[in-house]
Amino acid sequence: MRGILFDCIKKAIAEDPNLFFLTGDVGFNLVESIFEQFPDRAMNVGVAEQNLVGVAAGLCNLGFKPICYSYTNFLAERSFEQIRDDICLHGYAPIFLGTTTGFDNGILGPTHLALDDMAGLKALPNIRIYSPSTAESMKLIMREALALKNEAAFIRFTKSEFSEGKEVVAANRFVVERKNVATVALSHGKMVQNCYKAAAVNSNFSVFAMDMIKPFDGENMKKLLNEYKKIVIVEDNFKSAGLYNSVCQFIVENGLRTDGIVSLSPKEIYDERIGSAEYFEEKNGLSPEKIAEFIEKL
């Protein structure tokens, strides 16, 4: 996904003189050529995420559209107030690219996990949140984000590679659509691939990727509620800070049915143990096998 992302970025910067690339000292062996090709529109601001976002706001004032790259958790949480005050309050439209999500950095410990990054961001006006599940989805989302004029975009993406093997026409779409099944796994980001793999061993459900988290896609949600008795929201972030929480708000506000809505997500704890992403996914019931099993038992 990162390969495709940086191809998009390099092409976009070459075409649009108002794009400005900023990194918080992240992107070894990925970003160097941007600095070489565009020395006046690319900068490593160092390990300083608050400054990264503040500088981005200043660049917006000059008419630039900054693309800011760092780890998801540092970008969303260390510099949260800068995103709120200096970006969203002003209606600026930078693109925030947060690398690694969920348990991608499991062996680095809880400071490096992105389980709660969307909690604050979801409450902010003037920002979209994307959680691309595939390289093709990332490409489409980048196109959308580059076109935004008065809204920022926060794109949080997994290190894990996954492709549907076809172009996607919308960030929110069926990845596996089956007729005459009662259940749909509604997911985003890395968990879409786990659901996809789970669907290969359990043929009793569909998989819908909701890679655009905010604004909430009520239209597709209503269709899913009409078509499926059970909706399992599968995500590798805390349910209070993600899609499940948005779904709950939507159905309550719209007086829709609340039965059959289930969350499959990590326990809301900071685990004292470390391990690979697969270790944590297994532990939290998010491995493909566990997802298949969970849905089978519904």
Partner 1 sequence: MTEENRNIRLTILKMISESGAAHIASAFSAVEIINAVFKSVDVGKIKDGDNDRDRIVMSKGHGTAALYAVMQAHGLLTKEELDTYAKDGSLLQGHASHHVPHVEHSTGSLGHGTPVALGMAIGLKSRKFNARTFVITGDAELQEGSNWEAFMLAGHLKLSNYCVLVDNNGISQMGEFVNWCDIQPIGEKFRSFRFDVIEISDGNNEEEIISAIRQSGRKNAPTAIICHTTKGKGVSFMESNAVWHYRPPKGEEYQKAVAELKSIQTL
Which among 189, 253, 190, 195 has a CA at the least distance from the CA of 221?
Answer: 253
SS (HEC) of 103-117: CCCHHHCHHHCECCC
Specify the amino acid at residue 247. Answer: V
The minimum distance between CB 78 and partner 1, in angstroms, equals 10
Query: With respect to partner 1, which residue has the nearer C-beta, 80 or 280?
Result: 80
The rounded distance, in Å, linking the Cα atoms of 245 and 192 is 18
DSSP annotation of 271: -
Of the candidate residues 3, 33, 46, 276, the single one contacting partner 1 (CB under 8 A): 46
Smallest distance from partner 1 to CB 293, Å = 47
3 state SS of 227: helix
For position 126 contacting partner 1 by CB under 8 A, the verdict is no
In whole angstroms, the minimum distance from the beta carbon of 89 to partner 1 comes to: 6
Pick the piece of the chain touching partner 1 (CB under 8 A) from 3-11, 47-55, 226-234, 258-266.
47-55
Q: How many residues belong to the site for partner 1 (CB under 8 A)?
A: 27
Q: Which of 161, 160, 185 is nearest to 293 (CA)?
A: 185
| Residue 26-45 contact track with partner 1, rule CB under 8 A, x = bound | --------------xx-x-x
Provide the 8-state DSSP code for 241.
G
Q: What is the SS3 assignment for 15?
A: helix
| Listed residue (197, 183, 176, 136) closest to 8, CA to CA | 136
Q: Is 89 or 252 the residue whose CB approaches partner 1 more closely?
A: 89
Output 60 or 232, the one with its CB closest to partner 1: 60
Please select the residue that binds partner 1; options are 2, 10, 90, 112, rule is CB under 8 A.
90
Binding residues for partner 1 (CB under 8 A): 20, 40-41, 43, 45-46, 48, 50-51, 53-64, 81-82, 85-86, 89-90
